Amino acid sequence: MNADLIVYNIGQLVTSKELLIPNDGESLMENIEIIQGGYLAVSGGEIIGIGKGDVPSKFVKFTTKLIDAEGKVVTPGLIDSHTHLVHAGSRENEFLDKIQGVPYLEILEKGGGILSSVKSTQQATEEELVFKAKKSLKRMLGFGVTTIESKSGYGLDRNTELKQLYVNERLNHEQEVEIVSTFMGAHALPKEFKNNREGFIESVIALLPEIKEKKLAEFFDVFCEEGVFSIEESRKMLLEAKKNKLKLRLHADEIINIGGAQLAVEVGAYSADHLMAISENGIKALKNSKTIANLLPGTSFSLNKEYAPARKMIDEGVQVALSTDYNPGSCPTENLQLIMQIAALKLKMRPKEIFKAVTINAAKSLGKDKKIGSLEIGKKADFVIFDANNIEYILYHFGISHTKKVFKGGCLVFKK
């Protein structure tokens, strides 16, 4: 088959294809293929050829577009598998309080925190939410991100939650980054339900059939945390979502360990996210499951909190993903490359582990690994050319974007 597009003279081609047996001295998180001196052939938006050395002549036709990678790194399109993209407003007015150590509950009492973002999002029009989200998505694309997960959760009422999900749907048609939509109506308990927790939980459950019928979300998420939603409350909502054919993910063990990781495994969640307070039993449960541990070190960095024990998890055999947790409060950044650099410096993750975490493992956490997350024949031609000669340099030189070009479905969608 002839190719529409060929990228040649690639220095390091990080396919993120999983090797059956890791190289000597490497962890299971390092079992990804890296081809030194490779090429990539694309036709109809899919990969039709990949390999080492010169491009086979069978792929080349008169109209094939040729791109010289100039010895640079090429990887799959990065995947940001945990974001709170769709929201209104910002919370820089709380920034001084935060860095001076004012407790979050005190900020909340003054009308700040998540309830401030909820109020802004409730008041915003759909057009305003789309406009703001597009700005963030453009930034994400510039960092090499071609797919993201986007949660609702700044509505906490029927109309605003649906409005956020409608925005996700629109964004999938109006810009280049692919959106995987998550309904997170159980992000917090609204003040008006302070004395009626069960009533709020039932209102979340009542929305599930409508969301599934209208195909507004693929996933359901809940904030399982002390003072938010208990294990029992979370289990009830998760199982109801499962009955409505939604896939599951879970905010788990972020601040206090209450067994969120074990619950994620129990209900068959695709990911357990945050995990700064995970227990030994939680690590053991994840190790023996298909649930991905989705770590968000930017949140720890922003809040000056403990980091998730990534090295211990990886050494125990847990599969890890990395995401920004982009949101207006605890992690206001769209920069996934910065998150990767923090993961190297603070989580002590190794370069291959980090690239696996933002490619094939992130795709697994979204149930998309059959189509994206690695550069293999038959998969979507989502890939990034980085202005670096090796993956170590991308992590070593921190605080900047190394992206040179981004391709989505074989089409150039970003160029520095």
The answer to whether the beta carbons of residues 378 and 46 sit under 8 Å apart is yes
| In a shared domain, residues 337 and 325 | yes
C-alpha span between 158 and 221 (Å, rounded): 16
| In a shared domain, residues 100 and 196 | yes
Residue type, position 221, single letter = D
Name the residue range of residue 258's domain.
78-365
What percent of the chain has pLDDT above 90?
92
Secondary structure (3-state) at 316: helix
| In a shared domain, residues 24 and 57 | yes
C-alpha span between 115 and 202 (Å, rounded): 20
C-alpha span between 389 and 310 (Å, rounded): 27
Question: Cα-flanking dihedrals φ and ψ of residue 405, to 5°?
Answer: -145, 150
| In a shared domain, residues 87 and 10 | no
Q: Does the model's pTM come out above 0.95? A: yes
pLDDT for 115 equals 86
pLDDT for 101 equals 85
In this structure, the number of other CB atoms found within 10 A of the CB of residue 392 comes to 15
| In a shared domain, residues 48 and 165 | no
In whole angstroms, how far apart are CA 221 and each of 83, 131, 184, 251? 12, 25, 5, 7
pLDDT for 324 equals 98
Mean pLDDT of 325-349: 97
- pLDDT band at residue 62, thresholds of 50, 70 and 90? very high
- pLDDT band at residue 105, thresholds of 50, 70 and 90? low
The answer to whether the beta carbons of residues 319 and 364 sit under 8 Å apart is yes
Q: How many CA atoms does the CB half-sphere of 176 hold within 13 Å?
A: 21
The answer to whether the beta carbons of residues 261 and 272 sit under 8 Å apart is yes
Mean pLDDT of 284-313: 97
CATH of the domain at 23: 2.30.40.10
C-alpha span between 282 and 123 (Å, rounded): 39
C-alpha span between 7 and 201 (Å, rounded): 51
Burial 76-94 (b: 16+ CB within 10 A, else e): bbbbbbbbbbbbbbebeeb
45: alpha, beta or left, given left = phi > 0 and alpha = psi -120 to 50?
left
C-alpha span between 321 and 149 (Å, rounded): 13
| In a shared domain, residues 201 and 235 | yes
C-alpha span between 43 and 4 (Å, rounded): 5
Burial 243-263 (b: 16+ CB within 10 A, else e): ebebbbbbbbbbbebbbbbbb
CATH of the domain at 136: 3.20.20.140
| In a shared domain, residues 62 and 94 | no
| In a shared domain, residues 357 and 307 | yes
Q: pLDDT digits over 397-409, tens only? A: 999 999 999 999 9
The answer to whether the beta carbons of residues 291 and 328 sit under 8 Å apart is no
| In a shared domain, residues 225 and 323 | yes
pLDDT for 123 equals 97
Mean pLDDT of 174-188: 97
| In a shared domain, residues 113 and 98 | yes
- Total domains, the chain: 2
Four-CA torsion 238, 241, 242, 245, nearest 10 degrees:
-160
| In a shared domain, residues 91 and 25 | no
- pLDDT band at residue 301, thresholds of 50, 70 and 90? very high
| In a shared domain, residues 103 and 195 | yes
